[in-house]
Amino acid sequence: MRTLHNVHERVVDAPAEAVGALIDRISAPDDPLSPSPVWPPILFDRPLAVGADGGHGFVRYTVGAYEPGRSIRFDFPPEEGGHHRLEVEPLEPGRCRIRHVIEQHQGLKDSLVWNLLIGPLHDLFVEEFFDNVTRAATPAAPLSPVRWTGRARALHRLVFDRARAVEAPAGAALAHQAVPRPDFTDAWQLDLRPGMPRDPLAWREVLPFAVRGSSQDELLLGEDAAHLDFRASVLIQGDTVTLTTLVQTHNRLGRLYFAVVRRVHPFMARRMLRRTYRRLAFAAPPAARLERRSDGVVSGSP
């Protein structure tokens, strides 16, 4: 058993009151600090206060202590033990230090997972969070953002969200109109994080096929051939993006051809959707604010 003590800190050329006010907005609809959409946003089931439960992505925690404008302690679930805390320390007038500390007892397995996978990603997440603090508190000051190493990108790709199989959505009207009686249909879906584009045309490069139609929430791609017709629909609905494929074969050659292609199609569809998602996430602004839908649900909530 070892005790993990991981510390990150940064001096910010802004008053502690200004930085503390930013910290108080964590998980709020106008949160300027969560480094989404490259990372899952920090979200809780209620406004920031003791007892608020949430986290970011698969990292879960509860607010165990909170001093507005000064510090927040986030407690990991009891079975994991430990906590991490965020602190703002005043320095001379107009300057302060922001600090993030993790303290946790770890067994051999947890220690290995931390050193090989979680630790490098955590360090990068915190530094990008600090970059956003600097951007928000001193918008006119120059900033050298934290650099991603090849290892960091590989680990981030490893844990990044994966598309899940769903039923073809009824909302994909263009696709259903184009192929009313398909011989094959499948659909893959990802949750949209705050800051991801909601315009279907932004997802144009998900597959290398011609545009066959578009609407406010759907983009239709596809090709026609003598042996089969193919359509791919990208649907932005609520807080999800769904890639739906519809195929209609015309003859024996088409059926034979697709009998082979369908073996690799699910893998390729998942891969193309996920790759496009990651590209758009990295192209988005580095501090995407959360958006609250009209029904009161915070978009991108876990």
CB contact set of 18 (below 8 Å; sequence gap of 6+): 137
pLDDT of residue 2: 84
pTM, two decimal places: 0.88
Q: Is 115 helix (H, G, I), strand (E, B) or coil?
A: helix
- Name the strands in the sheet holding 96-106, side by side, starting at the edge strand that comes first in the sequence: 2-12, 96-106, 83-90, 71-75, 59-67, 53-56, 43-44
Write out the chain's pLDDT in tens, 302 residues.
789 999 999 999 999 999 999 999 999 988 999 999 999 999 999 999 999 999 999 999 999 999 999 999 999 999 999 999 999 999 999 999 999 999 999 999 999 999 999 999 999 999 999 999 999 999 988 888 899 999 999 999 999 999 999 999 999 999 999 999 999 999 999 999 988 999 999 999 999 999 999 999 999 999 999 999 999 999 999 999 999 999 999 999 999 999 999 999 999 999 999 999 999 999 988 765 554 333 333 333 32
* Closest by Cα among 33, 59, 41 to 281: 41
Return the pLDDT at 289: 55
Distance, CA of 92 to CA of 226 (rounded, Å): 75
Give residue 84's pLDDT.
97
Q: Compute the distance between CA of residue 22 and CA of residue 160 in angstroms, rounded to an integer.
A: 27
Q: Is the dihedral of CA 254, 260, 261, 266 positive or negative?
A: positive
Task: Give the pLDDT score at 285.
Answer: 82
